[in-house]
Amino acid sequence: QVQLVESGGGLVQAGGSLRLSCAASGSTFSINPIGWYRQAPGKQRELVAHISSGGSTNYADSVKGRFTISRDNAKNTVYLQMTSLKPEDTAVYYCNSAPPRVAWGQGTQVPVSS
């Protein structure tokens, strides 16, 4: 069973940067590719970026050029570097396989103030 633990969120001003981490434990072979999702208040959860075990990446248009996903396979950890943050990036951020196949973690909140 895979467990996912997200961290690194926090209040940030518009234009600022933040790096999120997702630590995976358990049967990590089932979480490839792995992605970052977000859920804004009143909206559905959406996939914003994902990365394969080989390092191929894909981004939602809304974050392309501002967010960078990376992974450290040895540490079973995936990162999301977020720059030029906007108030519309405010959400709870989660990691999971893409598409999601394992239990969701608790997420990490990212409020972006204007």
| 22 φ/ψ angles, rounded to the nearest 5 degrees | -135, 115
| 28 φ/ψ angles, rounded to the nearest 5 degrees | -70, -10
User: What are 33-66's pLDDT values in tens digits?
Assistant: 999 999 999 999 999 999 998 899 999 999 999 9
User: Distances from the Cα of 49 to the Cαs of 39, 99, 113, in angstroms?
Assistant: 13, 11, 22
Q: What is the pLDDT along the chain (114 residues), one digit of tens a residue?
A: 889 999 999 999 999 999 999 999 887 766 889 999 999 999 999 999 999 988 999 999 999 999 999 999 889 999 999 999 999 999 999 999 999 999 999 999 999 999
Is 86 strand, coil or helix? coil
